[in-house]
Amino acid sequence: MRTQVVIIGAGPSGLLLSELLARSGIDAVVVEQRSRQYVEARIRAGVLEQGAVDLLREAGVAARLDREALVHDGVELVFDGDAHRIDLKALTGRSVTVYGQTEITRDLGDARVARGGATYYEAADVTLYGIEGLQPRVSFVHEGRQVEISCDVVAGCDGFHGVSRRSIPASAIRTYEKVYPFGWLGILADVPPVSDELIYVNDPAGFALCSMRSRTRSRYYVQCPLTDRPEDWSDERFWAALRARLPAHHADRLVTGPSIEKSIAPLRSFVAEPLRYGRLCLVGDAAHIVPPTGAKGLNLAASDVRILHETLAEFFGAAGGDSLDGYSDRALKRIWQATRFSWWFTMQLHDITDDPFARKLQLAELRNLVASPAASRLFAEGYVGL
C-alpha cells in the first residue's frame, strides 16, 4: 500500500491532522494500536484555547462543540482562604472553552468514518522503517494479516509511550524532564459544578481543582502522594478532602455523588527535541508532556498539528525538498513557552511543606499575581495561550 502520510495514533492530534490533510488534498492512513472504543473512553482534559477551537472549526468538526461547549471568561484562584477571579476576557480579549477531549475524539472519529478515510484500529507490532531516508515504511499486523505501507512522511501522534519517539536513535534526540513529587487524584461525577468557572486552590493541605465537563458532569481533583492508589480513596474521603480545601461559600454549594471514574495521575514536564528525524515528525504527547495545571496538553498538541499541517501542505505543494525543516523549530518555540507556564503554575499551587521558604514565596507570588494588573495580564496571556 502507498500513501503520502502515515499517522501513528488515532487520538485527537492524529485524527485532527488527518482531517486537515484531507481538506488539503493530502492522502493519509491512520494506524492505531488500541480499539476505537478504548481511545474514545480515555478521560482527559477539556479546556480549549481559542486557537484549538478555531482549528477544530477549520477542520469542520466543531458543530457539536459550538452547540454544547461552555465558554469561560475567567478563572478563580483560591489562596490564604480567599477567592480571586482573574478576568481573562477583560485582560486579553479571549476566553477559554470547556469541551471534553473524549467528545473531541468522538467527533473526529465520526468525521473520519464519514470521509471514508483508511484507519486501522487494533494494529499490533507497529514498526517504522527507513524514516531517515526518502521512502519510510510502516508495518503492522491487523486482523491477523501483515500490512506494510510506504509513504513520504510519518506523523508520530502516538503518545508518550508510543513507538514513534522510540524509533529515533538515541544519538539523534535529546530529552528534558522534570518529575514532580506529587500526583492528582481525580474523579468524574454526574453532579452540577460547584462554580460556573474553574477554581484552582492553593491550600496548606494541598492543591485542589474544581472543573467540569458540562452543566451536569463535574471533574474534581485533589493533590495526593504518588504512593496512594485510587482504591485508598473512598468517595466519602475524596469529597471531605475537597470540601476542606474550598472556601466556605464554595464548600456550602458543593454537590456530591458517586464517582463514575477515579484515577491518580503523576505529574511531569517532558520535552524531546528536535521534533523531526528524517521523514518522521513527532506530534503532541509523543514529543512533550506538561502537568495538567493550566490545561496545556491538548492545546499544545493542536498547535503542533496546525504547524505540521502547514508544513506538509508546503512540502507536498513544493514537491518535497527541505520544507520539513521548519516544523521542529516553530513548534518548539510554543512548546517551551507552554512548558514554562505549566511548570510555574504548578509550583505556585501545590503543597511543598518540606520547603517553608518556597511556601512563603508561593504566597508572595500569588498575592502579587492578583494585586498587580501587569502580573494578572501576564498570567491571563499564558492561560489563554497568547
Catalytic residues, which ones? 72, 200, 292, 296, 383
Task: Give the up-direction half-sphere exposure of residue 29: CA atoms within 13 A in the CB hemisphere.
Answer: 22
- The CB density around residue 359, as the number of other CB atoms within 10 Å, is 15
Output the CA torsion 88→179→32→28 (10° steps): 60
**Burial letters for 152-187: b for 16+ Cβ neighbours within 10 Å, e otherwise?**
bbbbbbbbeebbbbebbeeeebeeeeeebebbbbbb
The dihedrals phi and psi of 263, each to the nearest 5 degrees, come to -155, 160
In angstroms, the CA 4 to CA 316 distance is 9
Residue given cell 505556585 in the structure block: 348
Alpha-carbon Rg for the chain, nearest whole angstrom, is: 21
Report CA-CA distances (Å) from 83 to 59, 76, 92, 294. Answer: 38, 6, 21, 17
Q: Which three cell numbers stand for residue 234?
A: 473512598
| Grid cell listed for 218 | 463535574
d(CA 64, CA 353): 44
Contact call for residues 211 and 47 (beta carbons, < 8 A): yes
Cβ proximity of 174 and 272 under 8 Å: yes
b/e map 202-232, b = 16+ CB within 10 Å: bbeebbbbbbbbbeeebbbbbbbeeeeeeee
Query: ∠12-58-340 over CA atoms, to 5°?
Result: 55
Query: Rounded to an integer, what distance in angstroms lies between the CA atom of residue 301 and that of residue 337?
Result: 14
CA dist 170 and 302 (Å) reads: 26
Grid cell, residue 254, equals: 458543593
CA 162 vs. chain centroid, Å, equals 16
The C-alpha cell that represents 166 in the structure block? 522510540
